[in-house]
Amino acid sequence: MDNDAASVHPDHPPSTPSAPARLSRRAFVTASLTAGGGLLLTLHLPAAARAAGAPTERSESAEINPFISIAPDGIVTIMAKNPEIGQGMKTTLPMLIAEELDVEWKNVRAKQAMLDPIYGPQFAGGSLGTPLNWIPMQQVGAAGRQMLIEAAARIWHVPPGECRAAKGMVHHRPTGRALPYGALARKAAALRPPELDSVTLKSPKDYTIIGKFTGGIDSPRVLDGDRLFGIDVIVPQMSYAVYEKSPVFGGRIVRANIEEIRALPGVRAAFIVRGSAPDAAIKMGLVDGVAIVADRWWDAEKARRKLRVEWTPQARSRQSTQAFAQEAARLMRSSAHSIIRRDGDVDAALARAAKVLKATYSYPFLAHATLEPQNCTAHVRPDGSVEIWAPTQNPDSGAHLVAQTLGIDPGKVKVHMTRCGGGFGRRLSNDYMVEAAMIAKRTGRAVKVLWDRTQDFHHDAYRPAGFHAFTAGLAASGKPVAFRDHFVTFGQDGQVASSANLPRDHFPAGYVPSLEYGQSLLQLDVPTGPMRNPGGNALAFAFESFIDELAHAGGLDPLALRLDLYGPPRVLSAPPPRGGLRIPPFDTGRVRGVLELVAQKSGWKRRGALPAGTGLGLAFYYSHFGYVAEVVKAGVNPDGTPKVHKIWAAVDIGRQIINPAGAYNQVQGAVLDGLGQALHLLITVENGRVVQRNFDTYHLLRMDEAPPVEVHFLLSDNDPTGLGEPALPPVLPALCNALFAASGTRIRSLPIDRLHSHHARA
C-alpha cells in the first residue's frame, strides 16, 4: 500500500511513541434536530485533519456525518467509527464520548459506522486507536455537554456556570431544578457548538465511566448468536462462493475442468478469474483462481474438491524453509550486504573485550490464523457501484483495492465493517475483499466468499522468518562494550519484505558504545505482512534472549544488567511529530519502573530459593508506545516439553486505564498468544507452498497450557496509549530465559516444542 510517508498508517506505526492527537482547529461539530425531536451532533472533520491519520485520502470535500444522537427518551447513540476485531474499540471510544457527555453508560448504544471520510482514520492497527482518539473523542462529548448545559441555562434564564450535568440531566443547584437531556435536545440543537479546542475536559477524579470495568458493548449479542461477524452476513438473494487459488504463490491458471464443475449439484456458476498483476500474490491483491458459486457454501465447497486445475510451473516453487536456513547460514559466515547502523568501531572493541560471545538465533514464518476464516460478501450493481460487507481492519485500503481492480471510482465502493473474528494484522490486507468483489461482478448478484481453513493457512501475509548472528564483547565488569547483529532477512529484489526489517534504533542501539546492525537479504516469493506487534514479535525473542546470555556470561543479574544499560531515569529527545501525532520522548524511567515492578511482584530477588528445575526468566520490550516487562516461571516436564507455571506482566501505558475490563484481557491474551508462538507455532514452506493445512498441524495454545497471568499497570503521568500489541513480545524471551534458568538449555530457535532438540549449557 502506498501512503504518504507523513501519515500514520496501521501497517507502519511510528516506531517511536506518540501523544494523543488533537482534532485540528478546523474540526468542529454542528448540531441539528433529528426527525424524532432529538439532538444530533455532527462532526465536521476537514480534509487536513483526516489526512493526518487516514490510511489513504478518499475525498477532499469537507463532509459531515451524524456522530452522536440524543433521543427524546435520553438514549444516546454513538457511532463506533473503527472496526472491532476483539481489541475493544467499539466499547472504548464510546466510553470516552459518554464520559464527557455525562450520560449513563446503560443508556449508550454504539452503532457501527460505515467507511466514510468524515470519521477520519478508520482502522484497527498499530495499537493506535487509543492515542489517536483519546483527546478528540472526549472533546466531542464535552462539546455536547456544554451545549446541553447552555440550553438548560437559557430555559431557566440562569448563567450556565450555575448549572452542571450528570447522568444525562442538567441540574441547577441553587433552585434544585433539573431537566433530562432528551427534553433539552430541541433547544440545544439551535445553539452554536463550541470550538473543540475550547472545551474543558473533566478532571479524572470526576470520571464515572472512564476507568470503570465495562463489558464489551456487543458481548450479549455475541452470546445470543446474533449475526455480527462477516461470516454471518446474509443479504437478499445471496449466493455462496469458494475461490481456488494456486497453492504455490504466484501460480497462474493454465486450464481447469470448469465444465465438469458447472454440472455438479447446487452449482450456479464456475469460472476462471485472472489475477490483476504478476506480483499480486506478494502485494495481497487479486490472484488467479477458479470461482465456484452455489446456493449453499457446502455445495460450492464440495464441488471445489472435484476441481482439477493446472497451474503454471513456477521457478520459485523450489523455495523452502530448509533452503532458506542453509542460505542464511552461508550468508551469516560472511559480512552483511548492507549496514543499518554503525556506532564506533565494533571490531576494535571486540579485540579489547574481556570476553566475546557469539550466538545465532532464528524464528520461523507464522500465520495469523484468525479463528474466523477470511470471508467477504459483495454486491456489484448494474450501475457499477459496489457494496461490501467485510471483516476488515483496514476498510479504506480495501475500498481502494476493489476500485483499482475493478476499474471504478473509489467513491463507488461502499464498505460495511462487520465484527471481525480476530484480526492480528491479517485483515489489514484485503485480498479476500477484492476476490468477493470480482466474483460478485462476474455473477451479477450478491455473493459471500468464504475460505476454508486450509486456504486460510495457504494464503496469508505471513510473519516473516529471520536469522540473527550476534557477536558481543563484555568488559571485565561484565558490561557489554561491543554488539553486532548480522540480520539475515527476506526481501524482493533488494527491498526488505513487509514487516521483515530491523529498526536502526532497536535496543541495545544507543546503549552500547560500539554497535553495528548489518543486514543481508534472501529473495522471498512468499507474501509477508504485519502480525500483532510486527517486528517486535520476532526481534524481542532474539535480542532479549541474547541480552540474557550476556548477563549470565558476565556474571550479572539479568535485571541489573538491563537497569544498568538503560541507565538513570531520563527523557530522551523526542522525534518530530508525524501526521496527527505528537511523538512523546522515550523515557528510561518508565523502563526502570516496569522492570522493578515486575521483579517485585514475581519475587525475582528470591528466585534462588525456587526448587531445582524451576526458573524465572525476565524480559523487557518497548513497542507501540507501551513499556512492558514480563517474568515467566517455568520448568521442564519429563518428556522435555516446557511447563509454564505462571507469568507476571508490568505495563506502563500512561496515567489512565480507560477500560480495565478490556485492558487486563488484552494483556493476558497477548501474553498467552506470545506463549503459544514460542511453544509451538511454525509455518513451513516447501516447494514454494505452505505445508500446514489446519489446526491439527498448527498448534494454537489451549486451555490446559494456559498458566495464570498476573497483570500490573504502572500509572505514569503520560497520556494513555494502546494495548493491543505491546504486551506480546516480552513473553517469548522471558520464557526462554526461564527455561535456561530452570534447565541450562538455551533456546536459540523457535518454536521450542521439546528442550532436547536445543543446545545444552556450553
Partner 1 sequence: MRYTIRVNGRRRVVQSDADTPLLWVLRDDLRLTGSKFGCGIAYCGACTVHLDGVPARACVTPISAVGNAAIVTIEGIGRSHWGRRVKSAWLDLDVMQCGYCQAGQVMTATALLARNPRPTDADIDQAMRNNICRCCTYTRIRAAIKRAAGLPTADTREADHG
State the residues that interact with ligand FES by CB under 6 A.
86, 371, 422
Q: Is 608 in the site for partner 1 (CB under 8 A)?
A: no
- Partner in contact with 373, chosen from partner 1, ligand FES, none, beta carbon below 5 to 8 Å by kind: partner 1
Q: Is 263 in the site for partner 1 (CB under 8 A)?
A: no
Written in H, E and C, the secondary structure of 519-565 is: EEEEECCCCECCCCCCCHHHHHHHHHHHHHHHHHHCCCCHHHHHHHH
Which stretches of 614-758 are DSSP H helices? 660-679, 731-743
Min separation Cβ 239 and ligand FES, Å:
22
* DSSP for 92-137, written as a single string: HHHHHHHHHHT--GGGEEEEEPBS-GGG------TT-HHHHHHHHH
Q: Is 450 in the site for partner 1 (CB under 8 A)?
A: yes
Which stretches of 190-279 are DSSP H helices? 219-223, 258-262
369 vs 497 by CB, closer to partner 1 = 369
86 vs 141 by CB, closer to partner 1 = 86
Min separation Cβ 752 and ligand FES, Å:
23
Min separation Cβ 433 and partner 1, Å:
18
Min separation Cβ 222 and ligand FES, Å:
9
Min separation Cβ 694 and ligand FES, Å:
9
Measured from each CB, the residue nearest to ligand FES is: 371
170 vs 217 by CB, closer to partner 1 = 217
- Binding-site member from 190, 201, 354, 371 for partner 1 (CB under 8 A): 371
- Binding-site member from 192, 708, 756, 760 for partner 1 (CB under 8 A): 708
Min separation Cβ 84 and ligand FES, Å:
11
Q: Identity (one letter) of the amino acid at 288?
A: D
Quote the distance between the C-alpha of residue 48 and its chain's center: 25
Q: Is 701 in the site for partner 1 (CB under 8 A)?
A: yes
Min separation Cβ 371 and ligand FES, Å:
4
- Binding-site member from 123, 181, 249, 297 for partner 1 (CB under 8 A): 297
86 vs 275 by CB, closer to ligand FES = 86
420 vs 515 by CB, closer to ligand FES = 420
Please report where in the chains the cell 478469474 appears, as a residue. 273
- Binding-site member from 42, 139, 370, 533 for partner 1 (CB under 8 A): 370
Written in H, E and C, the secondary structure of 297-360 is: HHHHHHHHCCCCEEECCCHHHHCCHHHHHHHHHHHHHCCCCEEEEEECCHHHHHHHCCEEEEEE
- Binding-site member from 158, 645, 686, 716 for partner 1 (CB under 8 A): 645
Radius of gyration of the chain (CA): 27
By DSSP bridging, strand 355-363 and strand 289-294 are: unpaired
- Binding-site member from 30, 200, 219, 312 for partner 1 (CB under 8 A): 219
Q: Is 574 in the site for partner 1 (CB under 8 A)?
A: no
Q: Report phi then psi at 636, rounded to 5.
A: -125, 130
Q: Is the peptide bond before 751 cis (omega within 30 degrees of 0)?
A: yes
Q: Identity (one letter) of the amino acid at 186?
A: R
Q: Is 639 in the site for partner 1 (CB under 8 A)?
A: no
Q: Which residues of 13-52 are buried (b: 16+ CB within 10 A; e: fewer)?
A: bbbbbbbbbbbbeebbbebeebeeebbbbbbbbbbebbbb
Q: Contact 732/674 with Cβ under 8 angstroms? A: yes
Q: Is 307 in the site for partner 1 (CB under 8 A)?
A: no
86 vs 536 by CB, closer to ligand FES = 86
125 vs 720 by CB, closer to ligand FES = 125
By DSSP bridging, strand 709-713 and strand 642-652 are: parallel
460 vs 485 by CB, closer to ligand FES = 460
- Measured between alpha carbons, how far is 48 from 25 in angstroms, rounded to an integer? 10
Q: Which residues of 218-254 are buried (b: 16+ CB within 10 A; e: fewer)?
A: beeeeeeeeebbbbbbeeeebbbbbbbbbbbbbbebe
429 vs 520 by CB, closer to partner 1 = 429
Q: Is 641 in the site for partner 1 (CB under 8 A)?
A: no
- Partner in contact with 143, chosen from partner 1, ligand FES, none, beta carbon below 5 to 8 Å by kind: none
Cell numbers linked to 571? 527523557
Q: Is 215 in the site for partner 1 (CB under 8 A)?
A: yes
Closest CA to 483 of 445, 513, 525: 513
Min separation Cβ 223 and ligand FES, Å:
12
Q: Identity (one letter) of the amino acid at 286?
A: L
Contacts to partner 1 by CB under 8 A = 85-88, 213-216, 218-220, 222-229, 231-232, 234, 240, 265, 296-298, 302, 369-373, 419-424, 450, 452-453, 611, 614, 633, 645-646, 661-662, 665-666, 668-673, 676, 694-696, 700-704, 706-709
